[in-house]
Amino acid sequence: MEHVFSKEQTCESLTLKILGSGCCVPSLSRSSPANLIKFNGKTYLLDIGPGTLKQLNKAKEDYKKIDAIILSHRHPDHSADLIPLIQAFCYNPEFKREKDLLIIGAKLTQEFIESLLELYGFNVKEFKIIFKEPDEMLVIDSRTVFKFIKGSHSSSSIITKMEFACKNGIKKSIVYTGDTGYDEEISEFAEDCDLLITECSFPFKQKGHLSPEEAAELAQKAKARKLLLTHFYPQCDNYELQLKDRVKEYYFNKILFAQDFMEVII
């Protein structure tokens, strides 16, 4: 597992683990999108694409401890393991989940998930699923706040900013675009963030996605301290050095290329 440590002062325990750095195209080296964030005793998932449960096991992370899931949008490569996760919560004879599960997604996400549960015949009784639509600000607890803007990739797309207050007084923020086209509003939203996670699906321009240059421009305009590129299609394989050179022409801070099981300590 690769660890990326910051030379700057860190938040006491704010970590990001990439569970899936790929896309909808099957790959032996990249699982579909999923990102695990741990802070202040809570565990969050940014997307939960197919294969996420297996990736959690391989990463030695406990699926039972997940507190909240944020869906960047409802396309299956970003959401397909959500129902299997709920099934695992309900039907593991050695585990009884009692704490609520928070699911954050765009309008109609609740209807979407509840319809799937009904079709599968799952009746969640042991715990509550709390659905929240992304508002301007969602207070998770006294040290964690989520903020959102609408994304352009699909009707259900949201872009998420997670703000964390550390015990030592330091504040950290992570912005996750999910799939997106170029939009300067993203730079405004992500201004001065510690980590900007953007998709970089192809080594060329594709409608509804970011090219390497566009991702770099957004990060530079945002003055992001680090840029993490992810959501790679197979066309990006074997082009990392070339992509990095292209990104470096527009963005001048730390550049990271996501790999499954990469861990970033913020």
Sheet holding 68-70, edge to edge: 3-5, 263-265, 15-20, 34-39, 42-48, 68-70, 101-104, 129-132
pLDDT digits (tens, 9 = 90+) for 148-189: 999 999 999 999 999 999 988 899 999 999 999 999 999 999
Q: How many CB atoms lie within 10 A of CB 225?
A: 18
Confidence grade of residue 8 (pLDDT, cut at 50, 70, 90): low
- The model carries a pTM of 0.93
Q: What phi-psi label fits residue 240: left (phi over 0), alpha (psi between -120 and 50 degrees) or beta?
A: alpha
Q: Indicate whether 58 pLDDT > 90.
A: yes
Q: Where are the alpha helices (DSSP H) in the chain?
A: 52-58, 76-79, 82-91, 109-120, 184-189, 212-222, 240-248
Axis-axis angle for helices 82-91, 109-120 (nearest 10): 50
Whole-number pLDDT of residue 5: 44
Confidence of residue 107 (pLDDT cuts 50, 70, 90): very high
Question: Which amino acid is residue 112, in one-letter code?
Answer: F
Alpha carbon distance 173, 195 (integer Å): 7
